[in-house]
Structures are given as C-alpha cells and as structure tokens.
C-alpha cells in the first residue's frame, strides 16, 4: 500500500504510514464480491458525469448558470443518497428532463478499468473461487459500461460467474436487504464471502449483515489522491490483493 500513487504518474507521492496491515486475504473466502464503479472501473467517469456533464446539460437546457444547475442537481441527488433512487438512471432522466443515456455515450472514453484490475481478475479466475460482480449501477448503465469495457478487455464478463445490479434485487447495497437477497438467491454463505468496494457505507452494511470480509479501495477516482477508508483493510489497486496460493505452484 505504500507509495500507491506512483503508478499513475503522479507528481506527488502519497505515502501511507504502514500501520494498517491486511487482516485477511481473498483466498480465505469461497466467494469474492467485487464492486464495479471505483473498484474494477475508474470512478473518474461517474464523477465527471454527475459533477460536470449533467449540471452542464441542465444549465444549457434551463438557461441557468452552472452554479445554479449544480445546486439543483446536487440537492436532488443528495435527497436520494443511499437509496435505490440515487442509482435510478431513468428517474434522473425524467427528473432533469435529459437523455442521460445519450449523454453518457458522449464521454464513453472515460470508462476504463482501474490499474491492476486486469491482472487481479486474471489471477483470481485461476483460484477456484466464485467471483461475483455486485454493483449499484442501474442496468442501463451496467449494460453500457460492459459494452465499452469489452472493447478494452474482451474477457471482462467471463471473469464473473454472475453480474448483479442492486436494482434487480430491489434494494441498494447500502441496505441489509440487498445482502440478504443476494446471499439467498445465489446460495452464498455470508461468512464465506468477502466484499471489495470503495463505498464505506456499503462496506459497513455488508459487515453488519455478516459478510465475512471487507476490503476498501482507497483511490476510486484516478484523478484524485487516495484517501484511507477508516475501519477497513485498504488497498489502492486490486492487484495488491494477489497473493501466492497453492495453485501457483
Ligand atoms: Mg463503487
């Protein structure tokens, strides 16, 4: 975890004090639950989309200043934070009267796997684990992102035995009901599962429910400095989780 920023060419070094040792390995678990945005993929796309592209479009359409549009968008989003509505692409398309699907396609170049994602998935698929992508992304966003990522990593979807959108389970990952429904439907033993995610609220919900392990990603957006996520094991890049196993010999 030391000097994690170097690999993206940062001019500054981000040095973490080495007082935070990993308490578990993904190899200790049977099921590996991986978040998408900010964990497998760079959150830069989402941050740019919601913080810039959407307010810009609202400002143009309603003849507002950017600041006014930002206030409108952010307060609307804030009122739904942590709920399934926050992730509901169709709801926000209606609410802001924008074609968000068309808008997201204009910046598809920003949809990229994070550094370390491919190496980690290649390694993980050799470990005889159940690997599940569990995301809060709305199915429309999920489908779009998978189609973009497939052009960069053709094997991406094949690394997962299942790809789940919380929208299909009727609860966001911040809610215990999501974890209950996921474990029930996929016959997952919660204690035998580990979650890797960048959202501390989601990690806390998984822990409260009884998911056996949690690992936080501390640099979800490659354009922002890493920030330690307190109370959880932290990594910057997924390939930091690669450890030697009996299968490597
Ligand atoms: Mg995330």
Secondary structure of 94-138 as H, E, C letters: HHCCCCHHHHHHCCHHHCCECCCHHHHHHHHCCCCCEEEEEECCC
pLDDT at position 23 = 84
Q: How far apart are CA 55 and CA 77, in angstroms?
A: 12
- Measured in Å, residue 197 CA sits from the centre of ligand 1 at 6
The ranges assigned to domains in the chain are: 4-16+24-42+112-243, 45-108
- State residue 10's pLDDT score: 40
Q: What averages of pLDDT result for each successive group of 10 residues across the chain (249 residues)?
A: 40 45 89 98 97 97 96 96 92 96 96 98 96 97 97 97 97 97 97 98 98 97 97 96 70
From the candidates 28, 67, 101, 128, give the one annotated as an active-site residue: 28
Is residue 198 part of the annotated active site? The answer reads: no
Q: What is the pLDDT of residue 248?
A: 52
pLDDT at 247: 52
Cβ burial of 78 (10 Å; 0-12, 13-18, 19+) is exposed
DSSP conformation class of 72: H
Quick one: pLDDT at residue 149?
98
User: What is residue 24's predicted lDDT score, i.e. its pLDDT?
Assistant: 85
Is 132 in contact with 165 (CB distance < 8 Å)? no
Between the CA of residue 34 and those of 62, 165, 183, 230, 249, what are the distances in Å? Answer: 39, 12, 14, 19, 26
Cα 62 to ligand 1 centroid, rounded to whole Å: 31
* pLDDT value of position 82: 86
For residue 42, report the distance from its CA to the centre of ligand 1, in Å.
Answer: 9
In total, the chain counts a number of residues equal to 249
Tell me, what's the pLDDT at 42?
98
C-alpha torsion angle, residues 45, 46, 50, 52 (rounded to 10): -20
- Cα separation, 56 vs 113, in Å, equals 26
What is the CATH code for 4-16+24-42+112-243? 3.40.50.1000
Rounded Cα distance, 166 and 191, in Å: 20
């Amino acid at each position: 975890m030391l000097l994690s920023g170097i690999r993206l060419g940062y001019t500054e070094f981000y040095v973490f004090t080495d007082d935070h040792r990993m308490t578990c390995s993904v190899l200790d678990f049977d099921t590996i639950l991986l978040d998408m945005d900010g964990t497998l993929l760079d959150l830069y796309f989402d941050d740019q989309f919601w913080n810039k592209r959407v307010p810009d479009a609202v400002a143009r359409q309603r003849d507002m200043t950017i600041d006014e549009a930002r206030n409108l968008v952010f307060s609307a989003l804030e009122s739904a934070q942590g709920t399934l509505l926050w992730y509901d692409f169709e709801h926000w398309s209606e609410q802001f009267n924008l074609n968000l699907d068309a808008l997201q396609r204009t910046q598809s170049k920003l949809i990229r796997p994070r550094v370390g994602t491919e190496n980690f998935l290649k390694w993980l698929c050799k470990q005889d684990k159940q690997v599940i992508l569990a995301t809060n992304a709305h199915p429309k966003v999920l489908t779009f992102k998978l189609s973009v990522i497939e052009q960069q990593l053709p094997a991406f979807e094949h690394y997962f035995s299942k790809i789940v959108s919380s929208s299909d389970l009727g609860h966001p990952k911040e809610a215990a009901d999501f974890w209950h429904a996921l474990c029930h439907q996929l016959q997952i033993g919660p204690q035998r599962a580990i979650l890797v995610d960048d959202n501390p609220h989601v990690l806390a919900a998984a822990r409260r429910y009884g998911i056996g392990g949690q690992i936080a990603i501390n640099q979800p957006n490659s354009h922002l400095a890493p920030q330690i996520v307190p109370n959880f094991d932290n990594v910057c890049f997924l390939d930091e989780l690669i450890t030697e196993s009996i299968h490597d010999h």
